[in-house]
Amino acid sequence: MQFEKKHARLLLGVALWMVITWSMFIKNLSAAYFDGEVRPAGYWVAHSILIVVNLVIAAILGSLGWKAHKATR
């Protein structure tokens, strides 16, 4: 399979969308933590791991999208 511009745009768009949505989640989660919301420690750990993993996935998709974009020039 050969990458085309539409594939590059899709990968970059998904990566951007993931960064935006997970950034909002980080903001909301940190606000809840600093407001003193009482949750088990596992809640905070699990959500922090989800954030990191999904931002790594976004970085990988963004990197692939950027490489595809450069390759289709």
Read off the pLDDT band of 73 (50, 70, 90). Answer: confident
Token representation of residue 28: 């909301």
DSSP sequence for 25-53: HHHHHHHHHHTT----HHHHHHHHHHHHH
pTM (predicted TM-score): 0.89
Q: How many CA atoms lie within 13 A of 1 on its CB side?
A: 4
Q: Is the CB of residue 61 less than 8 Å from the CB of residue 8?
A: no
Listed by start position, the domains of the chain span 5-71
Q: In the structure, what pLDDT confidence band is assigned to residue 1 with cuts at 50, 70 and 90?
A: confident
d(CA 69, CA 63): 10
Q: Which residue has the tokens 């963004």?
A: 62
Residue 57 has pLDDT above 90, yes or no: yes
pLDDT in tens, 18-50: 999 999 999 999 999 999 999 999 999 999 999
